[in-house]
Structure formats: C-alpha cells, structure tokens
Amino acid sequence: MPLTGTGEILAHAVRHGHGVGAFNVIQLEHAEAIVAGAEAAGTAVVLQISENAVRYHGGLGPVGAATVAVARAAAVPVAVHLDHATRVDLVEEAVRLGFGSVMFDASALPYAENVRATAEVAARCHAAGVAVEAELGEVGGKDGVHAPGARTDPGEAAAFVRATSVDALAVAVGTSHAMLTRDARPDLALIAELRAAVPVPLVLHGSSGVDDEHLAASVARGMTKINIATHLNKAFTGAVRAALGADAALVDTRVYLGAGRAAVAAEVTRLLGILTARPVSGPEGDRVTR
C-alpha cells in the first residue's frame, strides 16, 4: 500500500470521530511490531521517530529510511512522522526521506518566538506537501524542561494555529512524558474547550500515563492523535526480560527481540481497538480500512 500522509489519516479520524494511534519507533523491531499490530486491528497507524531516537542512532537517515520502507510494505495505511524536532535541518531531512509529517517543537521558547519559528517551518514543509504539528502549553516530563501542571489556553491555541498555519496541535491537558504508571488524568473539560476553539486535530502527548478508560474519554472529548511510546517500551522490555530469564543460555538476539516485537504488536492491536472504537458520545466512528 502506498505510504499515506499523516494529514489524510487524521482528517479521516476527525470526520468519523475516532482516534489515531501514533507510536514511537526506536529499533526496527518497533516499526515492524507497530505495523503488524495495526494490520491485525485493520486500521491506520502513525510511526514516529523522535529527535531523541535520532540522537541514539547518530542520525536520521538509516532508521528513517528503514521505517519508511516498513510503512510502504504495510497492508493498512501507515504514515511516518518526525516527533519533537527542535532542529530545522532535521525537519528538512525528514521531508527528503518521505515523512508525511513533522512535529516542530518550539514550545520551550517564549510565545512570540514559538509562533515565528513554527510559522517558518510550516511554510517550508507545506511547500513540500508535508503536514506540521506544533506544541503549545508544554506537555510535562520531556527532558526536564516542560513545566508539570501546565495547561494550554483555548484562546491562545486558536490564535497560535491561525498565526502559524500548523495542521495539528499538541496541547497540555495534564499528561506527562515518560510515565511508567497509567494514573495521569487528562482534563476532559479542557479538551472539549480546546476542540471547540481549535480548527485542527488535537494531539495528546504523554499518553503512556493514561489508562484505557481515560484514553477513550479523551478521544470522545476531542483528541485525535494519541502519542504512545513508554508504555510500548515497557511491554517490549518485559518480554525480553522474560525470554532471557527463562533461558540462561539464550544468546540469539532474534529470539528475545522477537519476543519483544510480538508483545508490542499485541499491545498495539489492543490499544488501536480502544482508540478507534465508536465513541460513547459524539459523531459516529469507524475504522480506517482503506
């Protein structure tokens, strides 16, 4: 199936009232597992590569090209997205590699500087047919720079989107990156206010810390793109630990990494079932099965 644009996947989800799972790729096994999980669920998915993962690999080229190749071979619509990029050169490289979207994160800057920098990136990406996500309100927990408890103001969010022409907006509603427990409670009333004020899809970062019930509620109130990374890393690592613990002589990386891959695929399928289920209230939803 041809590589799908992130904007197309998000627009379909908005029309039909469901969420989109956006899962982070660190190793090739992650990309393979996420696509396998999406194929089992029969729905679209977004593969994300963060600037931190790029730093780990020493560059975007190899991991980015491999992830695009996995996406192109999928039996369901798959988009590839650059997550939390703070460098314009990295954004430009992602565009050249065929990514469908980039998240340019200037949220640590003062508001006016965030607007200026984001608008410039959006203009350049749009000229290449690539969608742009930005962040306003600083979601907690990333590299220790984001303020815990921050909240995005709906009026400011609407003005930011108008000023920058971004295609999706990550907002602060009470979640935090890198949580190992699932006890974060998104501000559902604020999500509804933001949905009413902001004309582009909303993105929930730090979703690993949110349990199933509140993920579904967040989608029902207006969140569209749901970013999950740490939760899947826990599943992967747990399966690897179990495989190694069960056999002290095991040295074949294909065996224990394969166990991690299978665990992530199963969890992706389960999570996509929650995110794409028909909402309790709101527009009728269905799954992307194109």
List pLDDT tens digits, range 235-280. Answer: 999 999 999 999 999 999 999 999 999 999 999 999 999 999 855 4
- Give catalytic residues, as residue numbers: 83
Q: Which helix (H) or strand (E) holds 168?
A: strand 168-171
The region that residue 142 occupies, defined by phi over 0 for left and psi between -120 and 50 for alpha, beta otherwise, is beta
> Span 118-141, mean pLDDT?
86
164-193 confidence digits (pLDDT tens): 999 999 998 866 665 666 666 778 889 999
The region that residue 193 occupies, defined by phi over 0 for left and psi between -120 and 50 for alpha, beta otherwise, is alpha
* pLDDT classification of 286: cutoffs 50, 70, 90: very low
Q: Rounded to an integer, what distance in angstroms lies between the CA atom of residue 136 and that of residue 202?
A: 11
- The angle at the Cα of 22, spanning 18 to 27, to the nearest 5 degrees, equals 155
Q: Which two tokens stand for residue 12?
A: 């379909």
* Count of beta carbons in the 10 Å neighbourhood of residue 32: 20
- The angle at the Cα of 219, spanning 216 to 224, to the nearest 5 degrees, equals 140
Strand partners, 91: none
Q: Rounded to an integer, what distance in angstroms lies between the CA atom of residue 41 and that of residue 212?
A: 16
- In this prediction the pTM is 0.88
Q: Flag whether pLDDT at 147 surpasses 50.
A: no
Candidate CATH numbers 3.90.470.20, 3.40.50.970, 3.20.20.70, 2.30.30.60; the one for domain 6-275: 3.20.20.70
